[in-house]
Amino acid sequence: MMFNLDDPLIKRLAPILKSVNMCDDSHIPKRNGQRPASVLIPLVKRGEWQVLLTRRPMHMPTHPGQISFPGGRTEAGETPCQGALRETHEEVGIAAKDIHLLGSLPSFNAVSEYRVTPFVGILNPAAKIIPCPSEVEDTIEIPFSFFMNPENHKPRLAEFDGKTHQLYDMPWPNAGEPKWHVWGMTAMMLYRIYQGIYDET
């Protein structure tokens, strides 16, 4: 898969991402009963850069209807990046050969029992997106620039681990009539990218 390493977005992302090879143990679960998981933040260039998102079906036992990235539990014997690639193939039909991993964001403890490692990857724009009906109700591509615009970050306080955390929701296309309500873990990962690229505080 060919892409331009001099693309401005790729050059901005490179300094804020960790190695795909996970050279430390930060991705390993830290709590009793905690399980490893990984997700892919898929970027695809169609004129401008887009972010691929999925909507979970309403029949799912956990997080029904939630907007998310492809991902899930890392299976025994898998590395975190292998898990992210497998889950992406299972959920939206995009094979590993059509994904170039740029790197990873820091792992974190989800509200659920998982320790999650996010990877950022570039999709081959010619790859066909074929959602798995049992796991994905719908997919959408939203401009990356939308998530990098602080005017689209709607602040919200949440309690986790006995502490109050500042979170940001990112409803698309607007807060008044959101067709895709990007919030929670998905919005948090996008906000971390925003912080790494643009937030100098």
Q: Are 38 and 81 a contacting pair, CB within 8 Å? A: yes
Predicted confidence at residue 111, as pLDDT, reads 77
Whether 26 is in a domain gets the answer yes
Note whether residue 60 is domain-resident. yes
Nearest of 54, 157, 44, 159 to residue 102 by alpha carbon: 44
Q: What is the pLDDT of residue 1?
A: 67
User: Is residue 184 domain-resident?
Assistant: no
Does a structural domain hold residue 57? yes
Residues contacting 84, CB < 8 A, separation 6+ = 38, 39, 40, 70, 71, 101, 117, 119, 121
What CATH number does the domain containing 52 carry?
3.90.79.10
In this prediction, residue 138 carries a pLDDT of 96
What percentage of the chain exceeds 70 in pLDDT?
Answer: 96
175 — pLDDT class (breaks 50, 70, 90): confident
3-class DSSP state of 188: helix
Cis peptide bond upstream of 143, omega within 30: no
Q: What is the mean pLDDT of residues 127-149?
A: 96
The answer as to whether 62 is a domain residue is: yes
**Within-domain flag for 91:** yes
- What integer is the mean pLDDT of 21-40? 84
- 192 part of a folded domain: no
| Res. 140 pLDDT band, cuts 50 70 90 | very high
Which residues are CB-neighbours of 35 under 8 A, at least 6 positions away?
29, 73, 74, 113, 114, 115
pLDDT-based confidence at 188, cuts 50/70/90? Answer: very high
Q: What pLDDT is stored for residue 65 in this prediction?
A: 84
* 69 phi, psi to nearest 5 deg: -90, 155
**How does pLDDT run across 40-73, given as a tens digit for each residue?**
999 999 999 999 999 998 877 666 789 999 999 9
Q: Look at the chain and report how many structural domains it folds into.
A: 1
Lowest-pLDDT choice from 115-124, 137-146, 169-178: 169-178
Q: Are 180 and 67 in contact (CB under 8 A)?
A: yes
- Per the structure, the complete domain to which residue 100 belongs is given by 8-150
The reply to whether 3 falls in a domain is no
Q: Where are the alpha helices (DSSP H) in the chain?
A: 8-13, 80-92, 144-147, 184-197
Q: Which two tokens stand for residue 177?
A: 């009539």
Report yes or no on whether pTM surpasses 0.85: yes
β-strand pairing of 71-73 with 67-68: unpaired
Using CA atoms, how far apart are residues 36 and 113, in angstroms rounded to an integer? Answer: 9
